[in-house]
Amino acid sequence: MADIRSKTVYIGITETDMMQSINEIMTKYREKQKEKGEKVDEVKNMPAFDRLGQPEDIANLVSFLASKDSDYITGQSIMVNGVAAFS
């Protein structure tokens, strides 16, 4: 029998260069925005932790899930999103 485990990580909005690029594009094309970065500030206020996710938040979970410490975990989907959404 194969030793296969299924683990899925769902990520929320994470503060990366790509997120910054998306914010810059949104700022250019949204006339109603008052200042650059307003949309990111709005999103920052959504999560319970009052901050955007950091790449390290995702990396720490993935590292754990890839380690022997998570051998008994399988068939799970885990959200990393600061409670911006939950199931």
CA dist 51 and 43 (Å) reads: 8
Position 2 in a domain:
no
In a domain? residue 87 = no
Q: What is the pLDDT, as a whole number, of residue 47?
A: 56
- For the chain, what is the domain count? 1
Q: Is residue 20 part of a domain?
A: yes
With respect to residue 36, please indicate whether it lies within any of the assigned structural domains: yes
- How do the pLDDT tens digits run along the chain, 87 residues long? 567 889 999 988 888 888 888 777 777 767 565 655 666 666 666 656 677 889 999 999 999 999 999 999 999 999 998 876 655
The answer to whether position 63 is within a domain reads yes
User: Domain for residue 24, yes or no?
Assistant: yes
Residue 72 has a pLDDT of: 93
C-alpha distances out from residue 15 to 12, 20, 40, 72, Å: 10, 7, 9, 31
Structural domain harbouring 26:
7-80
Does residue 1 lie within any of the structural domains?
no
